[in-house]
Structures are given as structure tokens and as C-alpha cells.
A and B are shown apart, each in its own frame.
Chain A
Amino acid sequence: MAENQKQNYLTHPKGIMSWLLTLDHKRIGLMYLFGGIAFFFLGGVLALGMRLELAAPGNDFVSNDTYNNMYTLHGAIMIFLFIIPAIPGALGNILLPLMLGAKDVAFPRLNLASFYIYTVGALFVMYTIISGGVDTGWTFYTPYSTTSTSNVIPMTMGIFVIGFSSILTGLNFIATIHKMRIPGLTWYKLPLFVWALYGTSLVQITATPVIAITMVLLILERLLGIGIFDPALGGDPVLYQHFFWFYSHPAVYIMILPAFGIISEIIPVHSRKKVWGYKFIAFSTLSIAFIGFLVWGHHMFTSGQSVFSQIVFSFITYFVGIPTGVKIFSWMLTMYKGQVSFTPPMLYALSFLFLFTIGGLTGIFLGAVALDIHLHDTYFVVAHFHYVMQGGTIIAFLGGLHHWWPKSMGTMYNQTVANICCLGVFLGFNGTFFPQFLLGLRGMPRRYATYDQQYAELHNYSSFWSGILGLSIFISIMNLLWSLRKNNKLDPGTNPWGGMTLEWTHTTSPPHPHNFEEEPVLEHGPYDYDKVIVEPTFKK
């Protein structure tokens, strides 16, 4: 076994084919990770391009049509190719079986298939970009999307295909969590990240089929004029919005729930304290997943839906605040009187708490019908969902990446650089998006390449800080990649943060190709810092 110990999944087996045809969940996770990061950069470049255009009033760099393509592609790429697949696909894939003590996910071949389906979907999106883009906005609202001359069909085909990848990942994770746990690992002993992935997967399999059928109907509407969404043919464009948001509102929780899970892991480990309110956090995950299905109409307050449903949707929307608040308070109470260490993952987690709280609270403003009618389609909405999606999900993703990087890669990045980058991300983010709240309140509508002189100062400010934000994220990723250079390997027994979940205590860094030398035996709960002492170990 001694030689066996030196093997890890990164180096064994060797060869390009062993990666392309791998059934190992950790390798598939890494492929998702690098695919996702590539699209993150592409989407980021588009965002910076837009901010450049918006730095001053007037069409300075791009035409209105190009700008329309840019925001559509930015939204679609970030959501469908990065955020939705990235956390479950990358971190979820790498960590889920490790946290359960399993050798692999339930259906390894399906797992590889869903990665390739994702790749095919990505090719459709690439084709859309090369052949001239699409200008409908990432929501593809009818009737514009049925009449636009841009490449709506390849783009919606891409989303249709990526949907299958998402469904198969969710299905796989559900079966894995139910059936692949080691004996003794009961539901209440699961790490909270697993609960989060479970909630995410449930939403993935219930909501994603509806976007698939919606995209099919949209394509058929363009090809055959079926008349279901086209008002000229006796159809109803608002029905399209119902179909779209029945998926896309729960999809918001597909994006944010895994982020909650990451934060629930980082905070107890880096505070060296048992998580406060384990069951509260676990069940708030499931209740968010459920309530998320009842509130989609709050995206449609100005669309012409009935007043009755506006009231119902607005009312139910407030309930989302309850489980979310439960989580935020549980995390804060976990840190209370803990030994908080300001490592890069913890800094990201703290940023998350701050930014997500702003994002969540402004969401409550927007849930009120009267206020939303005023703020709908303004920069207030843009700022709100960037505070949730970037300030929440992407910050948590970066935090998780820094937290589990030594585990999955067996190397340690430069922590000082990482801390500085985290600060840069935090400042850059607030500098970019906080002014957008003010712009929105003053009436600046979203999706315009030009604007009135009165908005110039805030736009200029926002554009400046977006550069800092982009640069900080770029350097932090480069910092991670730089750690992969030669002769930078950590000792396989390293547990740099003193984590207590199975992936830290029972396997090497990077893990063995079959995850564990032998099946782990559960000795303590995931956050038993009050009972057991696990010292952080860190040596090269």
C-alpha cells in the first residue's frame, strides 16, 4: 500500500484520454471548473466592455446593436454556462462523494455524459456568438424574440441542451445523497454543503424540464408560428413569461443555494466553532427551495398579469426572507465567540455576508408591487441581482475555491496575495454596483448603451471600480493557478484549515483515485469543534 499512497487522482492514471473519458467525479469536477472559469472570463470581458461603453454618455465605442448583443451574451453566458453549472458541477462533483465517504457519485457515466452535454450546449452558444450574436436579452421575452432577426434559435437550442446537463447532474446528486452515504452518516450528520446540494438538485430536476419545453415552444413559435406566445396569432406573450420564470426564478436558488452551502462550511471551520443551528440551516435550505417555486410572478409586476396574482406573488415573496434571515443569523451566531481567523476563504465568506445581505434586503424592496412598478427595469434591479449573484454566488464560489483548492489540487496559493485580491474584489464590487442603486432610483433604465448627462458621474464611478473588480478577480484566479507550478506540492496529509468533514480527515490532498484507501469510519460529526480537536496542519 505504500506505493499506493503516493497515487492521487491528478496523476493516476496518465494520458489525455484518461481525462477525456474519465469516470472519476473529481476529474469531471475539474473539467467543469476550468470550463466554467473560461466562460466566467468571457462573460467578464463582455461586462467590462459594457462598462467601458457606459463610462461616458453617447456611443463612444460600440453601436447600440453591438451593445444589445453584449448584454444578452453577458447574461446568458454568466448564468447558463458559468453560475448554474459551475458550483454544482465543479465543487459539488469534487466534494459530494468525498463528503459522503463514497467512492464515486451514483452514476459515473451519466456524470461524464452531463459534462459533454454541457460542452455541446456551450458549442451552440459559441456558434451564436460567431454567427452574429443575439439581442433579445437573456430572458428571450416574446414577442420580440419571435420577431428579432438575430440568432435566437441557436442560443435557445444551447440553453435547451445545457438544461439536460443540469437535470442529469441534479438527478445524479439526489441518488448519490440518498444511497451512497457510508453507514452511520445519517441525514443530520451530513455536512451542510451536502444539504445545500440536495436542495439545489431538487430544484434542478423540478424546474429545468420546464425551461426545456419553453425553449422548444419558443423555437416552434419562430419556425411554425404556433400562436401560443404570439399575440398576433391569438396567443399570449405573458404566458411565455410565466413559463420562463417558472424555471428562472427557482434557477436563482439553483445559483444561490450551493453558495449558502459553501458559506456554511467555511464559517465553522475558520471560526473553529460548532455551527449554530444546524437543523435551522438545513431546513431553511429546503424551504427556500420550495418557496422559490411560488414567487416567480414578482418578475412580472409590470407585464400585465392580473392584479390578483400580483398581490399573491408579492405576499409570498416576503416569505423568502424568513429562511434566508435564519441562515444569516445562524452564520453570525456561529462566528460569535469563535476563533475567527482571517484566511482568504473566511474573508470571502465575510464579504458574502455583507454583500448578500444588501442584495437580499433590496430584494424585499423589489418584492413590493408599488415600489417595483417604479423600479422595474432600472439599474436598481441590475444592482440588486448583481449583489445576489455576484456578491453572493460568485464571492462564495471564490471562497469555496480558496477553501478546497489545497484539497483538490494539493498545493497552497499565496495567502497574502489572495487576501489582497479579496479586498480588491470587495471594494471593486461595491464601487461598481452601489452607484447603480442610486442610478436606478434616479430613473436610469437598464439595457441602454447611452444615457443622459445627469447620470454621467455615477456611471463613470461605476466603470472605474469595475476595472478594479475585474483585475482583482483575474489576479486571484492567476494566484490559484500559479500555485500549480512545480515543486510546490503540499504534504498529502495536509489539513490547512483544520476541517472536520470526511474530505479533510480521511483522505489525502489531493485525494486517492478511489477517494479513500479504505472505507472511512465516522468518528465525529462534521462540526464537532466542541468535542474533538482537529489541529490545522500545513507543511510542504
Chain B
Amino acid sequence: MSHDNSSPKFLQHHFHDVEQQYETAKLGMWAFILTEVLTFGGLFVAYVVYRSWYPEMFVGANLLLDVNKGLLNTIVLITSSLTMVLAVWAIQKKNQKLSLFMLIATFLFAFMFLGIKYLEYSHKFEVGQLPGEYYSYMGPEIAHLNNPHIFFSIYFIMTGLHGLHVAIGMGLIAWLIYATAKGNLNSEYYTPMEMIGIFWHLVDLIWIYLFPLFYLI
């Protein structure tokens, strides 16, 4: 009935073995990724539909975004993805210290991403490039375009939801730092780190699309 004493303490009672528990967690995680893709998917649909209705406005409005900040954020996020896989790699190689270092680096990069995003947002707030009825920017480059507030609505909702995911990811990574430092995660059992890693790469993956959609084209 209950598993014998030789099985590791992280094995939950309803699983046969560690392998089954690991594979199950991973499948569940990918099912969750599927829901995330479709959550953002709804917003991508809104983007595509409105872009097809307001092509000039979208091209005009994206010039108001700061490509350099967007590029910097892309690089920051890709780097954080790299440090995240290296954290998993290090713990697989039984190097807990390196893993801890990489997790802290990931956390700091995530913080940096939000910092840059904050600078971008505060500039938009200052000049009145706001979503919906709060929009008030009528600069010469855009005053003649139709309904630019829709572009900024979609921009703020998509990057806002993405930023929320970054913030949630930071919370999860903070927990990983704690668990790794305490030794709860080690080369025998690092499933949570791998799962949160997958989540973190998804955040990166979505930004890979957001960056060209809003800043470049």
C-alpha cells in the first residue's frame, strides 16, 4: 500500500517511481504552456484583426515606441533564458553553487527587464500615449492617423500581461533560490527548477514575438 522506506522522500505516495512523477509533472507543465499560448493567442488575434483594419495607423504608431529599449529588453530576456538553462544544467552536474549563482542572475535580469519596461511605460504616461479613452497624444507624426488609441490599448494589454508573467516568474525564481540554497533541490530532485525554467522560456518566447510586432513592423 504505502511505498517502502527505501523510496526517496520527494516521491509522492500515488506514484510508482520517480520517473513517473517526473514525466507526469512535465506533461502537466506542457498542458499549462498550451493554455498560456492560447491566453496570449486571444490578444494576438486582436492584434492581427486590428492591424488588418488599420494598417497605416499601426505602421505609424509603432514608430512611437523606442526600438533601442525594446532591443535591450530582448537581449536581457534572452540572457536570462540562458542563465535559467544554465541553472538547471549546473544542478544536473551537481554544482549547486553555480546553479544558485545562475538563478540569482536570472532574477536580476528579470528585474532589469521590468526596470526598462517601467522607463518605457512612464514615458508613455508622460506624453499621453495611453490605452483607450485616456489617450491624449496628438503629436505631428500621428495626429492624422485613425484611432491610434487602439494600438496603445493592445500594446499595453499585451506587454502588461507579459510583464505580469515576468513578475510571477520572478516570484517563482525567488522561491527556487530559497529552495536551492536550503538544499531542497539537488541533483537527485530538481523537477520544480526545470518546470519553472520551461515557464520562464515561454515568457522569453512570447517576447520574441511581441518585440517585432510592436517595435519593428
Instruction: Give Cα A205–Cα B28 distance, bound, in whole angstroms.
Output: 11
Contact A233/B133 with A209-B39, A209-B42 known, Cβ cut-off 8 Å: yes
Contact A179/B24 with A217-B46, A234-B147 known, Cβ cut-off 8 Å: yes
Instruction: Give Cα A221–Cα B38 distance, bound, in whole angstroms.
Output: 20
Q: What 1/0 mask marks residues of chain B from 114 to 150 whose CB sits below 8 Å from any chain A CB?
A: 0000000000000000011110000000000011011
CB closest chain-A residue, reference B37? A209
CB-based contact B31/A205 at 8 Å: yes
* CB contact list, B161-201 vs A, under 8 A: none
CB-based contact B27/A175 at 8 Å: yes
Contact A107/B149 with A209-B39, A224-B132, A514-B1 known, Cβ cut-off 8 Å: no
CB-based contact A179/B36 at 8 Å: no
- Which residues of A are found within 8 Å of B131, using beta-carbon distances? 220, 224, 226
CB-based contact A213/B31 at 8 Å: no
- Which residues of A are found within 8 Å of B56, using beta-carbon distances? none
CB-based contact B149/A233 at 8 Å: yes
Contact A210/B38 with A171-B32, A227-B150, A233-B132 known, Cβ cut-off 8 Å: yes
CB-based contact B46/A239 at 8 Å: yes
CB-based contact A171/B28 at 8 Å: yes
Point out which of B20, B149, B154 has the most chain A C-beta atoms below 10 A from its C-beta.
B149
Q: Is A206 an interface residue (CB 8 A)?
A: yes
Q: Is A528 an interface residue (CB 8 A)?
A: no
CB-based contact A518/B1 at 8 Å: yes
CB-based contact A213/B150 at 8 Å: no
Q: What 1/0 mask marks residues of chain A from 225 to 251 whose CB sits below 8 Å from any chain B CB?
A: 111100001111001001100100000
Q: Is A114 an interface residue (CB 8 A)?
A: no
- Which residues of B are found within 8 Å of A242, using beta-carbon distances? 45
* CB contact list, A165-215 vs B, under 8 A: 167, 170-172, 174-175, 178-180, 205-210, 212-214
Contact A103/B14 with A233-B149, A518-B1 known, Cβ cut-off 8 Å: yes
CB-based contact A175/B132 at 8 Å: no
Contact A175/B1 with A209-B39, A213-B39, A234-B150 known, Cβ cut-off 8 Å: no
Contact A228/B46 with A106-B28, A179-B23 known, Cβ cut-off 8 Å: yes
Q: What 1/0 mask marks residues of chain B from 1 to 43 whose CB sits below 8 Å from any chain A CB?
A: 1000000000011100000100110011001101110111111
Across chains A and B, the number of contacting residue pairs, with CB separation under 8 Å, is: 113
Q: Is B89 an interface residue (CB 8 A)?
A: no
B41 to chain A, nearest CB (A): 7
CB-based contact A175/B35 at 8 Å: no
CB closest chain-B residue, reference A518? B1
CB-based contact A228/B154 at 8 Å: yes
Q: Is B157 an interface residue (CB 8 A)?
A: yes
Q: Is B153 an interface residue (CB 8 A)?
A: yes
* CB contact list, A246-280 vs B, under 8 A: 246
Task: Find B34's partner among A104, A108, A206, A233 (CB 8 Å cutoff).
Answer: A206
Instruction: Give Cα A221–Cα B28 distance, bound, in whole angstroms.
Output: 33
CB-based contact B150/A235 at 8 Å: yes
Q: Is B49 an interface residue (CB 8 A)?
A: yes
A346 to chain B, nearest CB (A): 34
B158 to chain A, nearest CB (A): 10
Q: Is A102 an interface residue (CB 8 A)?
A: yes
- Which residues of A are found within 8 Å of B32, using beta-carbon distances? 171
CB-based contact B35/A171 at 8 Å: yes
CB-based contact B157/A220 at 8 Å: yes
CB-based contact B35/A208 at 8 Å: yes
CB-based contact A517/B153 at 8 Å: no
CB closest chain-A residue, reference B46? A228
- Which residues of B are found within 8 Å of A172, using beta-carbon distances? 28
A340 to chain B, nearest CB (A): 38
A392 to chain B, nearest CB (A): 27
A514 to chain B, nearest CB (A): 6
Point out which of B1, B31, B32, B132 has the most chain A C-beta atoms below 10 A from its C-beta.
B31
Q: Is B111 an interface residue (CB 8 A)?
A: no
Instruction: Give Cα A518–Cα B34 distance, bound, in whole angstroms.
Output: 35
Q: Is B50 an interface residue (CB 8 A)?
A: yes
A345 to chain B, nearest CB (A): 29
Instruction: Give Cα A93–Cα B155 distance, bound, in whole angstroms.
Output: 40
Instruction: Give Cα A234–Cα B31 distance, bound, in whole angstroms.
Output: 36
B128 to chain A, nearest CB (A): 14
CB-based contact A103/B50 at 8 Å: no
CB-based contact A227/B46 at 8 Å: no
Instruction: Give Cα A362–Cα B38 distance, bound, in whole angstroms.
Output: 32
CB-based contact A217/B31 at 8 Å: no
- Which residues of B are found within 8 Å of A224, using beta-carbon distances? 131-134, 153
- Which residues of B are found within 8 Å of A226, using beta-carbon distances? 131-132, 149-150, 153, 157
- Which residues of A are found within 8 Å of B14, using beta-carbon distances? 102-104, 108, 180
Which 8 pairs show the lowest CB-CB distances between chains A and B? A225-B133, A213-B42, A234-B147, A226-B153, A103-B14, A226-B132, A209-B39, A104-B14
Q: List 23 A-B contacts (CB under 8 A).
A: A167-B35, A175-B27, A179-B20, A205-B31, A207-B38, A208-B35, A209-B35, A209-B41, A210-B42, A217-B42, A217-B157, A220-B132, A220-B153, A220-B157, A224-B133, A226-B149, A226-B153, A227-B147, A227-B150, A228-B150, A228-B153, A233-B147, A514-B13
Known interface pairs A104-B14, A207-B38; 13 further A-B residue pairs with C-beta atoms within 8 A, sorted by A's residue number:
A174-B27, A174-B28, A206-B35, A209-B35, A210-B42, A217-B42, A220-B131, A226-B149, A226-B153, A227-B147, A228-B50, A239-B46, A246-B42
